[in-house]
Chain A
Amino acid sequence: MGAIYILWLRELKKYSRSRTQIVASLGQPLLYLLVLGFGLGPVFRQAGGGSYLQFMAPGIIGMAVLFTSIFSGIALLWDRQFGFLKETLVAPVPRLRIMIGRTFGGATVAILQGLLITAVCLIAGFRPVSAMMIPVAFLFMIGIAMVFAGLGTAIGSGLQDMQGFQLIMNFLVLPIFFLSGALFPLNNLPKALAIFTSLDPLTYGVDGLRAALTGASHFGIVTDAAVLAVVAAGLLCLGAWRFSKIEI
């Protein structure tokens, strides 16, 4: 247990020390929230969708958790470059524990980041419909964090250089975000797009968050939770397996 705890703690320490990074990470969600929120707001309202800010805020929270958790996994690349990975991989500790400590640390950081963005959304004028459902929203944040920390670890375990990182960013992380229905409603989508959105795990995370925070959902909160849990379990296993195969 000691190994898991100390590696989990390491992620938290690194997060709490990277103040500039925390501030920088607020930039993108703020941009979406303010520019899109207020820019597309009137159109959205005219189309009968209600408040766009209210609609989009859960999506932005989901985005923050997605980005932070997936990058915590990809940070394996940094540890590989700076050599620290070797220190953990020759330690007399089963690899699985190293992976669990790291991945859960990354997921915890992502949840903290999600809470921070939630606070920003509240300041921007977002209002959850029911205080009772806030713990449920928190559970969905955990779910999203687990899914993408697992995926990040799976990817980071095989990543060798920065070019690969750019590829992942443009062809995986951004599509996951844009296809998730974070920015647009899932009703009446063209068939092809509907298929892609339904294959994106973040779709269920955002839908669940939206259900908990605003009361409106597309798939139903139970479906969302079930899909997220299954995908999280699958991707964490994949991450553990890929991590066990790392060679240095």
Chain B
Amino acid sequence: MIRVQHLVKRFADFTAVNDISFAVPKGEIFAFLGPNGAGKTTTIKVLTTLLRPTSGTVELDGLDPTKHEDEARQSFGIVFQDPSLDQDLTAWENLELHGVLYHVTHKARRQRTEELLKLFELWEKRDALVKTFSGGMKRRLEIARGFLHTPKILFLDEPTLGLDPQSRNQLWTHVKQLNATENVTVFLTTHYMDEADRVAHRIAIIDHGRIVAMGTSQELKDQTQADSLEEAFLALTGATIRDETANATDQLRQVAKMWRR
């Protein structure tokens, strides 16, 4: 369903993704792990048509997203690292807007919206403005939105960042459920090793723009003779702390946090 071959993404002065290759079969939950600045988000951005690869090829459901942008976009859903809901609209209106943008017919839109809002336990709150929602509710709504147009692939970029254990747990339960019932391929990144261990069928570990290991959780543990995935992760990527320099986007994020009510 996803096939990446020799992908390289270079920015002016540094190489964010350096010759990575992997494939994710249909229906799999695939976790992409790595320290800050390892290249996870850049990879997702290339896969979701937000960035163009410097070299290498990407295929989503057999299509090259650089050539068939709109078809590729129709085939996946994405939940970004930062919130991307319209806070001044209601939960229902956010889904309605998404459905129209993704060419979901009126009838299917109503039915699907109701189904997903109920599943994610937001049905009672459908007419409340999103700015009144808690962090967990917003995240659930975003994931529900990602599923709305019945995508073949769902990208989740650190979807559980900043959530309490209850919300995280519930969120993954829903994702697993939809993965099972609709056979959606899920591509996720996270910093919580326990989540990857529990949810993902297969895991790739990326560091300095290269994939350093790939396999099931058990395989990674065996490879490094570690007891937990966390230990395996540290063994593979080292224990030094990575500091990203703040760019304009990060500064914007700060301002956005300040203004968010």
Partners in one complex: yes
**Are B97 and A90 within 8 A (Cβ)?**
no
Besides A83-B256, A84-B86, 5 more A-B contacts (Cβ < 8 Å) are: A2-B100, A81-B256, A83-B83, A90-B50, A248-B50
Given the interface pairs A84-B84, A86-B80, the reply to whether A91 lies near B101 with Cβ below 8 Å is yes
Instruction: Tell me whether B127 is interfacial, beta carbon within 8 Å.
Output: no
The distance in angstroms between the C-alpha atoms of A91 and B98, with both chains bound, is 8
Contact of A84 with B85 at beta-carbon distance under 8 Å, contacts A91-B73, A92-B74, A160-B248 already known:
yes
Chain B contacts to A: CB under 8 angstroms: 48-50, 69-71, 73-74, 78, 80, 82-89, 93, 96-98, 100-103, 129, 248, 251-253, 255-256, 259-260
Q: Which chain A residues lie closer than 8 Å to B248 at the CB level?
A: 160-161
**Inter-chain contacts of B252 with A (CB < 8 A):** 80-81, 160-161
| A14 part of interface (Cβ distance < 8 Å) | yes
What is the CA–CA distance of A17 and B74 in the complex, to the nearest angstrom? 31
B87 x A82 contact (CB < 8 A): yes
Q: A199: CB under 8 A from chain B?
A: no
* Shortest Cβ distance from B78 into A: residue: A90
A218 within 8 A of partner (CB): no
Residues of A near B260 (CB, < 8 A) are 82
Complex: how many Å from CA A82 to CA B80?
12
A242 to chain B, nearest CB (A): 17
Query: A residues engaging B (CB < 8 A)?
Result: 2-3, 5-7, 10, 13-14, 17-18, 79-94, 160-162, 247-248
Contact A3:B85 (CB < 8 A) given known A13-B93, A81-B256:
no
Residue of B85, B88, B103 ringed by the most chain A CB atoms within 10 A? B88
| Distance of A79 Cα from B83 Cα, bound (Å) | 11
Residue of B nearest to A81 (CB): B256
Q: A17 to B88, Cβ gap below 8 A?
A: yes
Q: Which residues of B sit under 8 angstroms from A93, Cβ to Cβ? A: 70, 101
14 A-B contacts (beta carbon < 8 Å): A6-B96, A13-B88, A13-B93, A17-B129, A82-B87, A86-B50, A87-B85, A87-B101, A88-B101, A90-B49, A92-B69, A160-B248, A161-B248, A161-B252
Min C-beta distance of A22 to chain B, whole Å: 14
How distant is B260 from chain A, measured CB to nearest CB, in Å? Answer: 7
Residues of B within 8 A of A160 (CB): 248, 252
Give A94 to B101 CA distance when docked, in angstroms. 10
CA distance A161 to B83 in the complex (A): 18
Check A82–B83 contact: CB distance below 8 A.
Answer: yes
Report whether A6 and B100 are in contact in the complex, using a CB–CB cutoff of 8 Å: yes
> Smallest Cβ distance from A16 to chain B, in angstroms?
11
A84 to B, closest residue via Cβ: B86
Which B residue's beta carbon lies closest to that of A91? B101
Provide the bound-state CA to CA distance between A3 and B49, in Å: 19
